[in-house]
Chain A
């Protein structure tokens, strides 16, 4: 049992899918309060790493400790959802459910089966959902069918779900890639606000260097599954980023 001050402690984490090495073994230590950006071209392993950190994908090798506990011990349900939460790139919302149900899904780790089922018919803890949605400015959509909302609104619903879940470690896969600068600012402020409240840590994958420098304390560069650098965010200069995204002329 390793006692560490770190909120995320990963050693030798690796994952392959058949012959494809999605993530070459890497070590990752994140302290409470840190905000880590993941950069890299598509296919570099960012999503794989995020899923491993979320406890959704077991690594082929290496160990992972979240909040000082081995990730395997945190399954299932409640403990894992308190430790870590992920906003996927495709958001992972259930299109047919009303917004309030998708938001309250963040409480599923805490609710028993009976409460979960009855909530489907008449939302329990509606106020919790309303509060989160108000902070995101879409409280009026609370009863609408999720599929009726615009892309940007749906993303805020996904973040509201995360708010309701209030995990210590906030993970986000490309949360701002398709947003204009003003909206991206807004979303990142909300996400970092979340971690400030819980005193936890945040890991998000994104590309824009100025957003990285402004909102994150640290940036990790990945390329084709291999760690390229792990530096403080202010050291992210254009040449460093260009080298990361450079087209590999040999492949």
Chain B
């Protein structure tokens, strides 16, 4: 019987397993592991109490009165914040989308090195690498970290959060869109050249129309992710539901927290449905 070769895949699997074991050991053996809590009754009773307060069953602790999610007025107030959150999410992908539209073409290898018929230049080559680096970096930094940095320059509100989300998603959609261009069928571009098209005409007639459907699809998929993250970014940038969530939690207004979670779920479901609908329109239209 032959022994299996040690391929890179196999070696990295072993490596990853070793890392996984090491990580779990480190966590469970560490001081803050939480392992004892798992077995202590106190943590579970705390959690149970928390859940009861969320559901409004422990009237005393939540400050008396009705649970927030049974109060129509609270629904309306929180609804306004949900509206802001929705707006922030659309603004974020708008920023990301506009940024990509402006920069994705030179970020495609076959555009910048002239494969599609243009004239390659050193400048374009450098631009390609710079853009790819920008995509990678903006992608690597989590949205929340971007938001933490941005609130140093911009006053809290919807805008800094949208910019933070926009930056991160710009990197993601940018890379994907450039790859769409790189994988594109060169036939139509060549045909346009033979019809006499110059560089910009070829981009406008040949490349952008072919890339648009995929670009929009990626953008709409990211919207589904962004709406979930908008609340989180709001913790720091103070727009929409996020700040309210944080405040209510720190003041132990747990039924308000439950209400916010309900609105959050409504937003998530609504955006998922809208995104699916719009994506279908992109496919057929």
Contact = CB atoms under 8 A, between A and B. Distances in A.
A and B touching (C-beta < 8 Å)? yes
Interface of A: 54-56, 76-78, 80-82, 84-86, 88, 90-97, 101, 105-111, 113, 116-117, 120, 158, 161, 165
Contacts of B213: 96
Interface string B192-219: 1111111011001110011011000000
Interface string B167-200: 0000000000000000001011011111111101
A91 B213 CA distance: 21
B196 A80 contact: yes
Interface in B235-254: none
Contacts, number: 86
Contacts of A106: 195
Interface of B: 185, 187-188, 190-198, 200-201, 204-206, 209-210, 212-213
B248 to A, nearest CB: 48
B264 to A, nearest CB: 36
A54 B188 contact: no
A173 B196 CA distance: 18
A81 B192 CA distance: 10
B205 A97 contact: yes
Contact of B191 (A80, A82, A88, A95): A88
Residue with the highest number of chain A CB atoms closer than 10 Å, among B194, B204, B205: B194
B116 to A, nearest CB: 12
A66 to B, nearest CB: 12
Contacts of A91: 187, 191
A105 B206 CA distance: 10
A81 B201 contact: no
A235 B24 CA distance: 83
20 contacts: A56-B194, A77-B198, A81-B196, A85-B194, A86-B194, A88-B187, A92-B188, A94-B188, A94-B206, A94-B210, A97-B205, A105-B195, A105-B205, A107-B195, A108-B198, A109-B197, A113-B200, A113-B201, A116-B205, A161-B195
Nearest to A113: B200
A91 to B, nearest CB: 7
A20 to B, nearest CB: 19
A99 B207 CA distance: 16
A38 B243 CA distance: 73
Contact of B210 (A78, A85, A95, A161): A95
A108 B190 contact: no
B263 to A, nearest CB: 38
B11 to A, nearest CB: 35
Contacts of B204: 116-117, 120
A84 B193 CA distance: 11
B209 A81 contact: no
A77 B197 contact: yes
Contacts of A108: 192, 195-198, 201, 205
Contacts of B196: 77-78, 80-82, 108-110, 165
Nearest to A162: B195
A105 B209 contact: no
A95 B189 CA distance: 12
Contacts of A113: 198, 200-201
Given A92-B187, A106-B195, A107-B195, 19 more contacts: A56-B194, A81-B194, A84-B194, A86-B194, A90-B187, A92-B194, A94-B188, A95-B210, A101-B205, A109-B196, A111-B201, A113-B198, A113-B201, A116-B201, A117-B204, A158-B191, A161-B191, A165-B195, A165-B196
A158 B191 CA distance: 10
A120 B194 contact: no
Residue with the highest number of chain A CB atoms closer than 10 Å, among B187, B191, B193: B191
A55 B195 CA distance: 11
A90 B195 CA distance: 15
Contacts of B210: 94-96
B197 A94 contact: no
A56 B190 contact: yes
B187 to A, nearest CB: 5
B198 A105 contact: no
Contact of A76 (B185, B188, B198, B206): B198
A221 B210 CA distance: 37
Nearest to A78: B196
Contacts of B187: 88, 90-92
B193 A120 contact: no
B125 to A, nearest CB: 21
Residue with the highest number of chain B CB atoms closer than 10 Å, among A106, A108, A110: A108
